[in-house]
Amino acid sequence: MNNADLIVATLKAAGIPRGFGIPSGNVLPLMEAMRKGGVDFVLTAHEGSAGFAADVTGRLTGAPGLCIATLGPGATNLATGIGDAWLDRSPLLAITCNLNTDQLGRRIQMGIDHHALFKPITKATLPLRRGEIGATLVRALQLALSEPQGPVHLDLPEDVALAETNEPMPARAVPIMLAPAADGAIQRAAELIAAARRPIAVIGASALRIGDPALLLRAIERYRLPFATTTMAKGLIDEQHWLSLGCIERACRQLQRRLLRSADLIVGLGYDTVEVEYEAWIGDTRLLQIDIEPVDIAPSVKLVHQVVGDLALSLARLGASPGAARGTWTPDEIADHRRAFHAALRPAKGSFTAHAAIDVVRSALPRNGVLCFDVGAHTHQIASQWTAFSPKTFLITNGWSSMGFGLPAAIAAKLARPDLPVVCLIGDGCFQMTCGEVATAKRLGLALPIVVLDDKWLALIKVKQIRRQFTLYGTELQSEAYGEPPAHYFGVPALGVRNAAELADAVKVALAANGPTVIEAVVDSEHYSDTVYD
C-alpha cells in the first residue's frame, strides 16, 4: 500500500465513514485511496461547507469528522469550517493536500504556509511524512477526541501520499481522560445547591459531549432545579419537562434575564462562556460552576464555588449526593413563566410571520426529527421558540456563529442519521451563501426540506442598525415585491438550454433583461480529456 492507503485504512478503523471536500490534482491520490478503502468522498460546493459538514458529523457520530481541501485557496476556504469546530469544540480532522515535499516553502503557485494558517484555530497542525504516518494519525485522533475536543489539521504532500509504505496499521487512538473533580469540591457544590432557596441551573455546550445525557436529568431532578439552556444545549433534556425554563440570551432575552436574576444561585452545568459570557446576564446572582475547566468570568461575577474535572463523573456524583433540596419553586410558577415567555415570542400580526413559519415547521417535524439552522435574526427566534425534545436534534453554531452553517449541517446530519427526518431552516442571506449545496443534497439523494425564511434583508443587522440609529445601508437583499412564486429563487429567472441555438437565444434574452438570469446549459465535456493538457 501507499501512504494514502494507510491514512484511509486508519481513518476507517477509527470509525470515520466519510470525508467532505473539493478535489484538485493534489487531492486525487487521497481520493483514490478513499474509493478503494471504503471511506466515502462527498463533493461539496465550497470548502467552507465541507468544514461545517465535518463538524456536524463529529458531533453526531462520536468519531472525528473529516474534511479535505487542496492547497492555497482550498485551505483558506476550509478555514471557516475549521474555525467553527474550534470554537464549538467538535472533533474533526482537516487534511490539506499539498505540493510535493521539495516544493514546500517556495513562492510557487497557490503555495502558502498551511501550518501558520491553521495554528490559531486548531488543537494542533501536523505534517504527514514518510515513515511517521501512523504515529501522526494516532496523535491527531487522540487530540481531536480528548476534552476539550476540537479540530486537528494534517498537511499531506502529494509525493508522501503516493509513496509506498511498510508501516503497520497503528494502534487505535485512545482519548486522554480528564481527571475527576475532587471529592470536597463535589460535596461543597451539593451543599450550596441544597441550601439555596431559588436556584436555577443553566446547561451549556460542554454538556453536549457527555456520553449519557441522562446524567443531567438525574442531577436536575435530584435537586428539583429549574433549568434553562444555552442555544447549543437545547434538547439535552426534553424542553417539555416541568422544570424547563427555555433558552437564554436569544429572543425576548429580558424576560429570561429577570427570572435568572431573581434566583439566589445560578448553577452552570457544562456552561461554556463562548456562547455568552456570564456577565451579560447574571447580574448580582451568585454562581456555582461545574465544568471541564476553570470558568472564564469578569471580576463582576460573584463566583462562590467551581467544580473542575470530568463533567460526566461530576454529574453522576452530584446526582448521587446525600441531602435534601430546599428550593421553593413551584410547578405553577415555572409553567406561568414558560407561558408568558412563549406568548411574548409570538406577537400578533396581520401577516405571515417568521414565528408562524417556525411553528409550522416544528409541527411538521416529528419529535425525534433533527433541525439544522443558520445564523441571523431567525436564529434568535428559533432558539427561544423551538421546542427540542431530544439530545443532538437541534444543530447550530453559537461559538463560531458563522452564516452558511445550516445547509451543510443538514446534509451531514442526514448522512449521519438517515433514520431520522432532518429539516434545514435558514434565512435568505444564509441561503445565498450556500445555495450551491442544494446540488450536493440532490446528488446524494437526500430527502431534505430546505425552508428559506425570505424577508429580503439581513434582518439581524437591520435590527442592530435601527437600534443604534444608523441609516439602513448595505443590508437589503432585494427591494422589489414578489408577484407569483418565482421560477427561480429570489425572483431570478431560470432558463434551460440543450443546444447551441437555444443557448444563443437565451443569452440574447439575458442580455436584454433588467436583471440576472440563470442559464442551465447541459453540455458534453468529454473533450476536456483531449484538450486541457495539450
pLDDT string in tens for the chain (534-residue length): 999 999 999 999 999 999 999 999 999 999 999 999 999 999 999 999 999 999 999 999 999 999 999 999 999 999 999 999 999 999 999 999 998 988 888 888 888 999 999 999 999 999 999 999 999 999 999 999 999 999 999 999 999 999 999 999 999 999 999 999 999 999 999 999 999 999 999 999 999 999 999 999 999 999 999 999 999 999 999 999 999 999 999 999 999 999 999 999 999 999 999 999 999 999 999 999 999 999 999 999 999 999 999 999 999 999 988 766 778 999 999 999 999 999 999 988 888 888 888 898 998 899 999 999 999 888 999 999 999 999 999 999 999 999 999 999 999 999 999 999 998 988 888 888 998 888 899 889 888 888 888 777 777 788 888 888 889 888 777 776 655 554 555 556 777 767 667 766 876 776 777 766 666 666 566 665 675 556
Burial 516-530 (b: 16+ CB within 10 A, else e): ebebeeeeeeeeeee
The dihedral built from the CA positions of residue 188, 190, 195 and 201, taken in this order, carries a sign that is positive
Degrees, nearest 5: CA angle 268-273-277: 100
Residue corresponding to grid cell 477526541: 145
Beta carbons within 8 Å of 367's beta carbon, 6+ residues apart: 389, 390
Tell me which residue of 336, 378, 372, 371 sits closest to 356, measured CA to CA: 378
Burial 229-252 (b: 16+ CB within 10 A, else e): bbbbbbbbbebeeebbbbbbbbbb
**Grid cell in block for residue 384:** 427561544
Quick check: bond before 127 cis, omega within 30? no
Beta carbons within 8 Å of 356's beta carbon, 6+ residues apart: 346
- Domain spanning 183-344 has what CATH number? 3.40.50.1220
CA distances from 176 to 27, 144, 147, 148, 281 (A): 31, 10, 8, 10, 34
Cα gap 248→231, rounded to integer Å: 7
**Grid cell in block for residue 115:** 501550518
Asked if residues 428 and 490 have their Cβ atoms less than 8 Å apart, the reply is: yes
Degrees, nearest 5: CA angle 506-511-514: 110
Cα gap 161→8, rounded to integer Å: 11
pLDDT at 472: 85
User: Does residue 267 sit in helix, strand or coil?
Assistant: strand
CATH topology of domain 354-479: Rossmann fold (3.40.50)
CA distances from 379 to 231, 374, 428, 466, 477 (A): 9, 6, 12, 18, 18
Cα gap 110→94, rounded to integer Å: 18
**pTM, rounded to two decimals:** 0.90
pLDDT at 524: 66
pLDDT at 446: 87
pLDDT at 515: 64
Asked if residues 249 and 256 have their Cβ atoms less than 8 Å apart, the reply is: yes
- Report the 10 Å Cβ neighbour count for 531: 7
Using CB atoms within 10 A of its CB, is residue 353 exposed (0-12), middle (13-18) or buried (19+)?
Answer: middle
- The one-character DSSP state at 239 is T
**Grid cell in block for residue 227:** 433549568
Asked if residues 336 and 239 have their Cβ atoms less than 8 Å apart, the reply is: no
What phi and psi, each to the nearest 5 degrees, are found at residue 140? Answer: -65, -45
- Domain spanning 3-162 has what CATH number? 3.40.50.970
DSSP character string of 50-71: HHHHHHHHHHHHSSPEEEEEES
Asked if residues 427 and 376 have their Cβ atoms less than 8 Å apart, the reply is: yes
Sheet holding 151-157, edge to edge: 40-43, 18-21, 65-70, 92-98, 151-157, 124-127
The domains of the chain are located at 3-162, 183-344, 354-479, 486-534
